[in-house]
């Protein structure tokens, strides 16, 4: 049993990829919805159907600007922070390796 909560950069980037995949999936579903509403509008160009189409267009645009944008921003932030943490870990590791030999032996390096 592991006693560490540390995640590798690869594990963190996998989570960011899941955010990207979720955003892509939602975008595809929005495109399908738009196609279905357009098909309905083509079959029945009534005022009610035009109102449905306009409402759908506005809602889809709002979802893209809000939900999809946030998912993409979260993925970018996750990747950036993973990279920053990896850089900090490497600097800390190098600092430990640069310690005088007596101290290094004490630390088990």
Query: pLDDT, tens digit, for every residue of 25-67?
Result: 999 999 999 999 999 999 999 999 999 999 999 999 999 999 9
Residue 92 lies in a domain: yes
| Crossing angle between the packed helical segments 9-43 and 47-63, to the nearest 10 degrees | 170
Domain that holds residue 50: 27-96
Residue 61 lies in a domain: yes
Instruction: Decide: 20 and 86 in contact? Cβ < 8 Å.
Output: no
pLDDT band at 93 (very low <50, low <70, confident <90, very high): confident
Q: pTM of the prediction?
A: 0.71
Average pLDDT, the chain: 86
Residue 78 lies in a domain: yes
**Res 109: pLDDT:** 54
Residue 16 lies in a domain: no
Residue 8 lies in a domain: no
Q: Taking Cα atoms as reference points, which of 18, 16, 21 lies closest to residue 80?
A: 16
Task: Determine the Cα–Cα distance for residues 108 and 101; give it in Å rounded to an integer.
Answer: 10
47 Cβ contact list (under 8 Å, min separation 6): none
Q: Count up the domains in the chain and report the number.
A: 1
Residue 14 lies in a domain: no
């Amino acid at each position: 049993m592991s006693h560490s909560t540390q995640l590798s950069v690869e594990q963190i980037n996998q989570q960011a990829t899941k955010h990207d995949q979720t955003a892509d999936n939602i975008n595809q579903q929005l495109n399908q919805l738009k196609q279905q509403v357009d098909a309905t509008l083509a079959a029945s160009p009534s005022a009610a159907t035009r109102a449905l189409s306009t409402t759908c267009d506005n809602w889809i645009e709002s979802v893209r600007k809000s939900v999809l944008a946030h998912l993409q921003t979260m993925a970018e932030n996750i990747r950036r922070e993973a990279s920053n943490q990896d850089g900090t870990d490497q600097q800390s590791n190098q600092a430990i390796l640069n310690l005088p030999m007596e101290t290094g032996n004490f630390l088990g390096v």
